[in-house]
A and B are shown apart, each in its own frame.
Chain A
Amino acid sequence: MKKQNTFIVAAAVTAAVIAAFWLLLAAPAYTGNEINMTRGVTAQSAIAYQLHMVILWICVVIGVIVFSAMFVSIVLHRKSRGQTPAQFTHSTKAEIIWTIIPVVILVVMAVPATKALVHMEVAPETEMTIKITGFQWRWKYEYVEDGIQFISSLDAASNAVRMLESDTNPETVPDYLLNVDKPLVLPADTKIKFLITADDVIHSWWVPALGWKRDAVPGFINEAWTEVKEPGVYRGQCAELCGKDHGFMPIVLNVLPKDEYRAWVREQTEGLAQQQADSERLWTREELMDLGEGVYAAQCATCHQADGQGLAPAFPALAGSVIANGPLTDNIDLVLHGREGTAMPAWGSMLSDADIAATLTYTRNAFGNETGDIIQPQTITRIKNG
């Protein structure tokens, strides 16, 4: 009679514990929200997902056993049921068993975990290379073989709405905070090597659909690789705290079928020729001011602010600043090489000469600055070449 009673309690408690696990781990999915890791679109992300599910299930089974035993005891072995306490203090046999069983479980887990890690970390022969440089708070992408390079920043719509003073509902912005002005375009079905580094502080390049993240560390070049099977747009974010706009540094991949990708590369290469021509011809003041205003808004305004007033104490004002109104060569030098120990990057390797010339012209003649300087792209080219 008593034994049967115990069995019923044990069954009921175990059922309740399983129900609780279901409520925590499965039920929330019915709200329509994503609650689990993505399967992603690469072999690596599929492996990560499968391994994650295996370990999760092992943890669930362990949890159900331990919690069931505990709650059976809580239900049965209470003083209010007139229990008299047993006085056993140890059992060498039991203790050896529950040391060895976890060791066996861990070994069983370690085998697939090791295989997965080897697959992820050991890169195969790759067909092309992208260099990724993180800097506050953008990503620069360089196509090593094709000579294409550009900076990818948070898109203007998200950027406007994310401001503290903005009253716009973020839900109205498509892909709020997960959209950029220029996505990283990649070919599908191609083994791609990434070389990842940073210019200022540590960032971390993460697109969940690829199945991994890798830190971008100044002074180091980390390697990673991918091969995306399905063309599509995949989104991610910087994953390592990198300063005030860490949350506003998204990553967007646009994976194209191989032929579309080749067409895109052609288009970009033609753009390069145009850029070359731009830096060789003479520009008017209006052209420079127009271009400069746009570049300033996209690249400089996060720190120095749209009105050039900066954000004390870390980000100096340009309006009335000694540098923006001082000797031109010092100003060019600062913009080209950045300032160590601050968030000011070396723009010389990131923007075209025309962009830099235009931005300098703009900052030296806006926000009440009246130097009257007109800086030609040629000047920048000449200074860069020493």
Chain B
Amino acid sequence: MSTESQTAVHDEHHDHKPSGFLNRWLFTTNHKDIGTLYLVFSLLMFFIGGSMAMVIRAELFMPGLQLVEPEFFNQMTTMHALIMVFGAVMPAWVGFANWMIPMMIGAPDMALPRMNNWSFWILPFAFTMLLSTLFMDSGGPAAGWTLYPPLSLQGGQSFAFVVFAVHMMGISSIMGSINVIATILNMRAPGMTLLKMPLFVWTWLITAFLLIAVMPVLAGAVTMLLTDHFFGTSFFNAAGGGDPVMFQHIFWFFGHPEVYIMILPAFGVVSEIIPTFSRKPLFGYTAMVYATASIAFLSFIVWAHHMFTVGMPLTGELFFMYATMLIAVPTGVKVFNWVSTMWRGSMTFETPMLFAIGFVVLFTIGGLSGLMLAIAAVDLQYHDTYFVVAHFHYVLVPGSIFALMAGTYYWLPKWTGQMYSEKWGKIHFWVSAISVNILFFPQHYLGLAGMPRRIPDYSPQFADFNMISSIGGFIFGASQLIFVGVIIHCVYKSKKAATGRVWEGAKGLEWTLPSPAPYHSFDTPPPIDSTTIAHVETSH
């Protein structure tokens, strides 16, 4: 209580936001404003990438081509992936990092506020450039988001725009990561030792190191594509002494850690939400931290499981199969710990908890199909089919995206000072959770029955499940408008004020601040003890 009244007094002379639209948003160095910019931007990208998915599902609604030419279809699958990965999921997590990390570790702001501004404002330009290729003569990239040469080198002049856009996204991500690491390592309130940090902060710290390690690798790979395309080099051109398979090794050395970059912060958010609504401390906090670190380490030595069919030596295939199977161990620990956190708790099921439970169930399904894909001998059948499409959408959509939604509902009252509509939040959850399964579960059957991925048209034997999948897709797409409606209502229309604590079982420094949180989160370091934070180090 005393903390709240102190901060309230504080607010009177410190909580002045910059006046004027440009000063407030374009030149802002405030972690909350930048966080908001990131989140709004990623929501916009989620809808742009989503509308491309709608084009894909509409074309696949029935056999035969009805709407788009195959070349444009390929541009849609490629752009959908690039936009969703680099434009929606990654910036959304950086938005959460900006908003929450200073509040969770008792800091006033991020460590490097000007760089923070820059790392966001690069993004709109990067994505304008990427999207503009759709309007150029040679069209958008159409070789898949993996940009495998030689196919990607067949693209026209617009390919240079794609490469530079990827460079800019990489610079933005690296700056964001440096900021996260600098903030977490330097700005924690006295007494907030590393093993007292909320799990969301931990997962982001590890994610930031992954980003710094792999984004330069991607930058190198696309630069080599650029010089192969425009300057006559032969890095990946077999006729010139190059090696097209080398690109795949380099790409997936980036690409596999990249998928953990998208999921680790999701683990963090879910590890905050489940204890809150179970009214019980997170089970096995230390094990969760070590499991996250193990997953991050393993992510660097499994990349070639994306390449079992390229013709690797047997020993190579065996190594990557075993390493990949190992990931199931720390991931299993996480799932078991979430269930144990719920066990004998006192649960309520507000929207954030519903999304978190949906995450645990559906992410586990995606994890299990991932285990199946790890088995190299069977992957020779699964590879490049809709089974793979179903797998990675299960871990990304009801995985990462559900966690993003859970986090949004969880912290929205803290951000805005107002409660969202619980009724519409729950409607959003149920429609999304049901439709996402109608959308992606039948794709397992399609893949097993032999439908390759990335094809615009298919044999009529695949017609029924494609139609069901498309119907699920349209419902899922439309139901995200409810999400936007709930957010707009909460920000502008909601009359129900949020308390500082917001949720009965909420623990952690962010809940000791009033709602909405003051502009400069903690001007003075808050006390760190069992009354304020969730994870108090336990001694045996």
Q: Which residues of A contact B (CB under 8 A)?
A: 24, 28, 31, 33-38, 45, 47-48, 51-52, 55-56, 59, 62-63, 66-67, 69-70, 73-74, 77-80, 83-92, 94-95, 98-99, 102-103, 106, 109-110, 113-114, 116-122, 161-164, 166, 168-171, 175-178, 200-202, 204, 206, 208, 211-215, 217-220, 222-223, 236-248, 311-314, 340-343
Contacts and interface: CB of A to CB of B under 8 A. Distances in A.
A244 B71 contact: yes
B343 A77 contact: yes
Q: Lowest 4 A-B CB distances belong to which pairs? A: A219-B238, A247-B455, A116-B377, A35-B445
B310 A243 contact: no
Given A114-B318, A118-B314, A244-B71, A239 B344 contact: no
A14 to B, nearest CB: 14
A122 B280 contact: no
Given A55-B375, A106-B326, A170 B339 contact: no
Contacts of B380: 48, 120, 211-214
A171 B63 contact: yes
Given A36-B448, A95-B287, A176 B460 contact: yes
A159 B506 CA distance: 61
A328 to B, nearest CB: 26
A176 B311 contact: no
A86 B345 contact: yes
Contacts of B283: 88-91
Interface of B: 63-71, 74, 137-139, 142-144, 148, 150-151, 153-154, 156, 238-239, 242-245, 278-287, 309-311, 314, 317-318, 321-322, 325-326, 328-329, 332-333, 335-337, 339-340, 342-349, 357, 360-361, 364-365, 368-369, 371-372, 375-378, 380-381, 383-385, 441-442, 444-445, 448-450, 452-461, 464-465, 505, 538, 540
Given A79-B347, A166-B64, A222-B311, 15 more contacts: A48-B377, A66-B336, A73-B347, A89-B283, A116-B375, A117-B317, A120-B377, A162-B64, A171-B460, A176-B460, A201-B148, A223-B311, A244-B142, A247-B454, A343-B154
A80 B448 CA distance: 43
14 contacts: A47-B377, A69-B339, A70-B360, A74-B347, A77-B345, A89-B538, A114-B321, A217-B311, A223-B311, A241-B143, A241-B151, A241-B454, A247-B458, A313-B156
A33 B150 contact: no
Contacts of A74: 342, 347, 357
Nearest to B156: A313
Contacts of A28: 442, 445, 465
Contacts of A246: 70, 74, 454-455
B457 A177 contact: yes
B321 A62 contact: no
Contact of B329 (A31, A102, A164): A102
B361 A70 contact: yes
Contact of A102 (B242, B285, B332): B332
Contacts of B384: 204, 206, 213, 239-240
A118 B487 CA distance: 54
Nearest to B446: A35
A188 to B, nearest CB: 22
Nearest to A203: B151
A201 B151 contact: yes
A202 B348 contact: no
A90 B345 contact: no
B158 to A, nearest CB: 10
A241 B310 contact: no
B310 A83 contact: no
Given A79-B279, A204-B309, A66 B364 contact: yes
Contacts of B68: 164
Contacts of B445: 28, 33-36
B244 A218 contact: yes
Contact of B449 (A35, A106, A341): A35
Nearest to B64: A170
A161 B63 CA distance: 10
Given A77-B346, A176-B63, A67 B69 contact: no
Contact of A37 (B64, B342, B345, B381): B381
Contact of A241 (B144, B244, B287, B346): B144
Contacts of A91: 283-284, 340
Contacts of A117: 314, 317-318, 321, 376-377
A202 B244 contact: yes
A122 B460 CA distance: 36
Contacts of A73: 339, 342-345, 347
Given A63-B365, A219-B243, A244-B71, A98 B64 contact: no
Contacts of B74: 241, 243-244, 246
A242 B525 CA distance: 57
A283 B369 CA distance: 60
A63 B343 contact: no
B159 to A, nearest CB: 12
Nearest to B442: A28
Contacts of B452: 206, 237-239, 247
Contacts of A62: 368
Nearest to A81: B346
Given A90-B538, A102-B332, A169 B385 contact: no
Contacts of B335: 66
A95 to B, nearest CB: 5
B162 to A, nearest CB: 16
Contacts of A70: 339, 342, 357, 360-361
A1 to B, nearest CB: 18
Contacts of B311: 214-215, 217, 220, 222-223
B345 A106 contact: no
Given A202-B148, A213-B381, A66 B339 contact: yes
B244 A219 contact: yes
Contacts of B144: 241
Contact of A164 (B65, B455, B540): B65
A322 to B, nearest CB: 19
A342 B154 contact: yes
A79 B346 contact: yes
Nearest to B461: A34
Contacts of A37: 378, 381, 448-449
Nearest to B314: A121
Contacts of A162: 64-65, 457
A63 B371 CA distance: 12
Nearest to B372: A55
A98 B69 contact: no
Nearest to B146: A241
A240 B349 CA distance: 44
Interface centre among A51, A122, A236 (most CB of B within 10 A): A51
Contact of A55 (B239, B371, B383, B455): B371
A214 B309 contact: yes
B536 to A, nearest CB: 9
Contacts of B333: 95, 98-99
B384 to A, nearest CB: 4
A176 B345 CA distance: 56
A84 B377 contact: no
Given A28-B445, A215-B310, A236-B450, A99 B151 contact: no
A246 B69 CA distance: 12
B383 A213 contact: yes
Contacts of A243: 74, 142, 151, 154
Nearest to A117: B377
Contacts of B137: 312-313
Contact of A83 (B69, B153, B344, B372): B344
A169 B375 CA distance: 39
